Amino acid sequence: MNFFQRRKATSFEETSTFLLVGLGNPGREYRETRHNIGFMVIDRLGELIDCKLMKVQGKAIIGIGRIGTVKVILAKPQTYMNLSGQAVVALLHFYKITPANLIVAHDDVDLPFGQIRMRPGGGSAGQKGVGSIIEKMGTSDFARLRMGVGRPPGQRSAADFVLDRFDREDEPFLPEFINRGAEGMRCFVTDGLDTAMNRFNPKS
């Protein structure tokens, strides 16, 4: 039985608090960029569960709410992407949350636009926010919600690509894409990672 299966086997009334994190960069200039889709997912989840992210705690903006009977902390680190681990680790320690109850939503250039993939751990695949969290936590054993933004065209660098807004032809599909990401995080809390992966990951 692995870490996530042990967590699922416990009744939800008895589980500890969950930390649901969306990665992005603070500031109006980054608000609607590909790199900030993690922020967008967390904002949408906050709307779905009526949890406002208005409290500043440490290096993050957070909201405290419930999904069913489970207490959840929704968080958007305000450290800029490559230092996200500072905010995440501080929240984990303050609320005494285990890695099994953490999920991080982030952009992923290795997935086509509109595709999501949930996974139990692994490396950062070059995503600097995830890399920072792994470094500060000292483990890669936490759930991820990878939000596909597609690869940059031609010779354009991925770093520049993710700091731009979505293409105009993609924008009509963004609300549903973001909503599916938020529902995937909610499913992680209510039903466990295995169920969420089966429900939201693309079928091979």
Q: What is the set of active-site residues?
A: 35
DSSP letters, 36-75, are: GHHHHHHHHHHHHTT----EEETTEEEEEEEETTEEEEEE
Q: Within 13 Å, how many C-alpha atoms sit on residue 74's CB side? A: 26
| Residue whose structure tokens are 């991820």 | 144
d(CA 135, CA 145): 18
Residue pLDDT, tens place only, 122-140? 999 889 999 999 999 999 9
The domain segmentation of the chain, as residue ranges, is: 17-200
CA dihedral 67, 70, 71, 74 (to 10 degrees): -40
Mean pLDDT of the chain: 92
pLDDT tens, per residue, the chain with 204 residues:
444 544 443 433 445 899 999 999 999 999 999 999 999 999 999 999 999 999 999 899 999 999 999 999 999 999 999 999 999 999 999 999 999 999 999 999 999 999 999 999 999 988 999 999 999 999 999 999 999 999 998 888 999 999 999 999 999 999 999 999 999 999 999 999 999 999 999 986
Token pair 């967590």 in the structure block, residue = 7
CA 44 to CA 101: how far, in whole Å?
20
Per residue in 72-91, pLDDT tens? 999 999 999 999 999 999 99
Domain covering 17-200 assigned CATH 3.40.50.1470 in the classification: yes
Per-residue pLDDT, 203: 85
| Contact predicate 24/30, CB 8 Å | yes
